[in-house]
Amino acid sequence: MAPSSVPLEGKAPVAISVSGDCSTSVPLAVLLTHGAGGDMNSGNLPAYAGAFSKSGIPCVRMNHPRNIPGGQKAMQAVMNFKGKGFPVTQNWVLSGQSMGCRIAAEVAHAEASTVKGLLFFSYPLHPPGKLDQLRDVPLQRLKQPILFVRGTRDTFSEAEQFEALLPTIPSDSVKVHTVEG
């Protein structure tokens, strides 16, 4: 049986949900987290986890504190957790929705040896209407493959700023999938 939480030193445990077969070591697992206003059951996150699991890739959804440093500590605790019913792996794809992307980017830099790729749903490049307040520093340190999924009307990621950002990312593999709307 999969655990429902992971201990977090000095804090409340991190709530998690595990999808997929974790009975043996797996070569790769996905760690997926939410944006600032949600939790691990928000929006399409359960469907994404189900799709990964159906494809044979275990997926762990997690909740995190509503701040970047707290989210980083929580994500690192989940990545390093060893327990029955949990993916036994040293290779993670980190994924997030909005603020969860920022957390994943920070952790990917800190845990570069175990993070093999990143999948960002609606990376919040800037606050809505504040195009001069870019949140691009975490991205400019990433060398892992990255897939951005973004909408054409995403107010947190205006197209001009987003396109200008892409050449500044040091990864050799940066892909963008744009969704209308």
CATH number, domain with residue 113 = 3.40.50.1820
In which band, very low, low, confident or very high, does the pLDDT at 61 lie, cut at 50, 70 and 90? very high
**Higher-confidence residue: 89 or 36?**
36
Could you list the beta-strand ranges (E) of the chain: 5-8, 11-19, 29-33, 59-62, 92-97, 115-121, 146-151, 174-179
DSSP state of 118: E
In which band, very low, low, confident or very high, does the pLDDT at 24 lie, cut at 50, 70 and 90? confident
Count the Cβ atoms, other than its own, within 10 Å of residue 161.
14
Q: Domain range holding 165?
A: 5-179
DSSP assignment of 61-102 equals EE---SSHHHHHHHHHHHHH---TTS-B-S-EEEEEETHHHH
Average pLDDT, the chain: 94
What is the distance of C-alpha 55 from the center of its chain? 18
Burial grade of 58 (CB within 10 A; 0-12, 13-18, 19 or more): buried
Count the Cβ atoms, other than its own, within 10 Å of residue 173.
11
Tallying the residues shown for the chain, one arrives at 181
Number of domains in the chain: 1
For residues 117 and 114, give the distance between their C-alpha atoms in angstroms, rounded to a whole number.
Answer: 9
In which band, very low, low, confident or very high, does the pLDDT at 43 lie, cut at 50, 70 and 90? very high
So what's the pLDDT on residue 95? 98
Please write the tens of the pLDDT for every residue from 85-139: 888 788 999 999 999 999 999 999 999 999 999 999 999 999 999 999 999 999 9
